[in-house]
């Protein structure tokens, strides 16, 4: 069977859930027995989001192979339950960097390098790479941004060319748009959708399906209008109402007949019936009233919750497994330094300190870690959250008042967290951290080994600094247990407190491997302990 391609474009505005739609559709196709692959194309010039501010871009999602990618890849992995690789995300920056490097190398023999064909060819090559490396039956490709953006033009042109090269019968374009609601007249408007489709058609692409996102119910006549003006079959206009439970989207897509319509048009047959009952059960469970457990997330980018997307999802997955509703209370760590926000921390049944970089708000996070240790509040530290737990312990228990990470204080006398040796000579910021999957050996009879129930795990990393082993025995004597180590024993991967219900922290990012139906053990451990505390 020829590889089939589903291309997702966005119209009207961004953030309408194109990524979730692609992820959900990917799941329904996987459920039909197809091998699916997913790819996100980001038309911005940055080489990857690794160096971008989470305020602008949201979370950086890390893959097994260490690729620093767009947060949509998190949706793909969580919904479809697959492990993606570097080929599943690329940016205009990567494409240009490659072409310019070849040009400097003289590979073009004096030719003029142009957007068409050089840039578009490289885009096509990279899209083709996914099909080649994964041998997928269906490749879902999402183009970031909105149709009409100058920077997305070469990407759309490349997709148009692919359609001609692999044959129209093997390509299906899905345009995801937004229907604005006019309060004064109480009506949904289709005009922006019409305009975005007109923009698509002006570059030679006619969508095969329009998914119309809306905050208000979409009536049949609205769909008729979209079908008529946008030249799409009526059955291919799919209204998609905003829903409060993210994991319901696959069910809504299934109910709307989207996967069946698409596979019929692509001329492929499913090998099995989709089994969506577990998802229905999951959504029913989410909706069921449950006792609430409060989790304070003490972070730096709390204004933009997308910055902690995977952490938030991992908390929800674990909460669901424990039959509780997790209320995530966002705390700005810099506020704690100014004596604000403490009521939230004090009212929490559990505290999470997520990953982060740079010194702003660090002392506030250390204060929160101290509070968790002293008041025995369940605590989960993620990467930076482990480093700060160690700094707090050094200051508060070992009385090394100056203890710090050399990331925040170069001259500290007690560098309990220090730059990893192989990071010392690195000057470039992009893609140079310790990234991706590394093994971690769990020490027996620890909380970590108990929650995992395993001896060895592989987890995803993204850091430059590490626990300084010069302090190891001092920490151990005072009640810190290093319950996860790299196989050579040289790198602390998990630390936990002996005399505490659950103060566990990892140098890696467990949140990237949590799935709705396979919650991550470290988060489950936190939620279990928080539930016990909440019942007190
Ligand atoms: N800034 C710390 C480091 O580089 C922590 C990184 C993180 O939390 N992802 O080691």
Distance 399 CA to ligand 1 centre (A): 24
Residue 178 pLDDT level (bands cut at 50, 70, 90) = very high
Fold agreement between 4-53+82-280 and 289-535? yes
| pLDDT tens per residue across span 347-372 | 999 999 999 998 899 999 999 999 99
Return the pLDDT at 286: 95
Higher pLDDT residue, 55 or 187?
187
- Measuring CA to CA, which residue among 381, 344, 384 is closest to residue 360? 384
Residue 136 pLDDT level (bands cut at 50, 70, 90) = very high
End-to-end CA distance of the chain: 59
- Measuring CA to CA, which residue among 144, 133, 55, 56 is closest to residue 93? 144
Buried b (16+ CB within 10 A) or exposed e, 354-372: bbbbeeebbbbbbbbbbbb
Pairing relationship of beta strands 465-467 and 415-419 according to DSSP bridges? antiparallel
Return the pLDDT at 14: 80
Which of 145-154, 207-216, 415-424, 508-517 is least confident? 415-424
Positions annotated as catalytic residues are 383, 509, 511
Tell me what the mean pLDDT of segment 264-285 comes to: 95
Distance 356 CA to ligand 1 centre (A): 6
| pLDDT tens per residue across span 5-31 | 999 999 888 878 899 999 999 999 999
Residue 421 pLDDT level (bands cut at 50, 70, 90) = confident
Tell me what the mean pLDDT of segment 397-424 comes to: 91
- Output the residue whose Cα is nearest ligand 1's atom 8: 355
Distance 383 CA to ligand 1 centre (A): 6
Rounded Cα–Cα distance for residues 288 and 471 (Å): 48
| pLDDT tens per residue across span 439-470 | 999 999 999 999 999 999 999 999 999 999 99
Return the pLDDT at 535: 82
pTM of the model: 0.94
Query: Which 3 state secondary structure label does DSSP give 261?
Result: helix
Residue 536 pLDDT level (bands cut at 50, 70, 90) = low
What's the CATH class of domain 289-535? alpha beta
Q: What Rg, from alpha-carbon coordinates, does the chain have?
A: 25
Q: What are the residue boundaries of the structural domains of the chain, listed by start?
A: 4-53+82-280, 289-535
Tell me what the mean pLDDT of segment 402-425 comes to: 89
User: Tokens in use for 439?
Assistant: 């093994």
Atom of ligand 1 nearest to the CA of 357: 1
Phi, psi dihedrals of residue 534, rounded to the nearest 5°? -60, -30
Return the pLDDT at 432: 78
Query: Which 3 state secondary structure label does DSSP give 410?
Result: coil
Rounded to the nearest angstrom, the gap between the alpha carbon of residue 217 and the centroid of all alpha carbons in its chain is 29
Q: To the nearest whole number, what is the mean pLDDT of the chain? A: 94
Pocket test for ligand 1, best of 54, 298, 333, 357 (most atoms within 8 A of CB): 357
Distance 359 CA to ligand 1 centre (A): 11
Rounded Cα–Cα distance for residues 479 and 476 (Å): 5
Superfamily grouping for domain 4-53+82-280: P-loop containing nucleotide triphosphate hydrolases (3.40.50.300)
Residue 305 has pLDDT above 90, yes or no: no
- Output the residue whose Cα is nearest ligand 1's atom 5: 384
Binding-site residues, ligand 1, Cβ < 6 A:
355-357, 383-384, 407, 462-465
């Amino acid at each position: 069977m020829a590889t089939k391609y589903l291309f997702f474009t966005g119209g009207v505005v961004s953030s309408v859930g194109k990524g979730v739609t692609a992820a959900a559709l990917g799941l329904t196709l996987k459920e039909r027995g197809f091998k699916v692959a997913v790819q996100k194309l980001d038309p911005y010039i940055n080489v990857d989001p690794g160096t971008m501010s989470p305020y602008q871009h949201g979370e950086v999602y890390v893959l097994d192979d260490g690729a620093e990618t767009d947060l949509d890849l998190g949706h793909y992995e969580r919904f479809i339950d697959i492990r993606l690789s570097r080929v599943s995300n690329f940016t205009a920056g990567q494409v240009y960097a490659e072409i310019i490097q070849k040009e400097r190398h003289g590979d073009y023999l004096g030719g003029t390098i142009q957007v068409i064909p050089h840039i578009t060819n490289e885009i096509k090559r990279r899209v083709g790479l996914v099909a080649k490396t994964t041998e997928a039956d269906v490749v879902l490709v999402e183009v970031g941004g909105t149709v009409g953006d100058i920077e997305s033009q070469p990407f759309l042109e490349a997709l148009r060319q692919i359609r001609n090269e692999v044959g129209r019968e093997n390509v299906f374009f899905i345009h995801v748009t937004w229907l604005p609601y006019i309060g004064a007249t109480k009506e949904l408007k289709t005009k922006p959708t019409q305009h975005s489709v007109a923009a698509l058609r002006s570059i030679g692409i006619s969508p095969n399906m329009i998914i119309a996102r809306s905050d208000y119910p979409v009536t049949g006549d609205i769909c008729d209008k979209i079908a008529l003006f946008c030249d799409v079959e009526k059955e291919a206009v799919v209204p998609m109402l905003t829903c409060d439970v993210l994991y319901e989207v696959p069910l809504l897509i299934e109910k709307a007949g989207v996967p069946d319509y698409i596979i019929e048009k692509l001329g492929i047959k499913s090998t099995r019936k989709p089994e969506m009952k577990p998802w229905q059960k999951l959504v029913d469970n989410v909706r069921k009233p449950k006792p609430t457990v409060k989790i304070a997330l003490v972070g730096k980018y709390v204004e933009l919750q997308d910055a902690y997307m995977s952490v938030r999802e991992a908390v929800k997955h674990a909460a669901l497994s424990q039959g509780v509703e997790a209320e995530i209370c966002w705390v700005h760590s810099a506020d704690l330094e100014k004596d604000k926000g403490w009521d939230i921390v004090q009212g929490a049944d559990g505290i999470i300190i997520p990953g982060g970089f740079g010194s702003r708000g660090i002392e506030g996070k250390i204060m929160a870690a101290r509070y968790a240790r002293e008041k025995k509040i369940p605590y989960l530290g993620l990467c930076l959250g482990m480093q700060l737990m160690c700094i707090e312990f050094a200051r508060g228990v070992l009385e090394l008042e100056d203890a710090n990470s050399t990331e925040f204080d170069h001259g500290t006398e007690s560098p309990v967290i220090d730059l990893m040796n192989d990071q010392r000579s690195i000057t470039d910021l992009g893609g140079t951290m310790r990234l991706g999957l590394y093994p971690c050996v769990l020490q027996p009879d620890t909380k970590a080994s108990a929650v995992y129930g395993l001896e060895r795990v592989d987890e995803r990393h993204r850091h430059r600094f590490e626990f300084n082993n010069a302090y190891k025995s001092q920490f151990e004597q005072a009640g810190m247990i290093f319950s996860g180590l790299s196989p050579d024993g040289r790198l602390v991967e998990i630390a936990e407190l002996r005399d505490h219900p659950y103060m566990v922290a990892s140098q890696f990012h467990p949140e990237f491997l949590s799935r709705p139906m396979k919650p991550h053990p470290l988060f489950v451990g936190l939620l279990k302990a928080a539930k016990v505390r909440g019942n007190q």
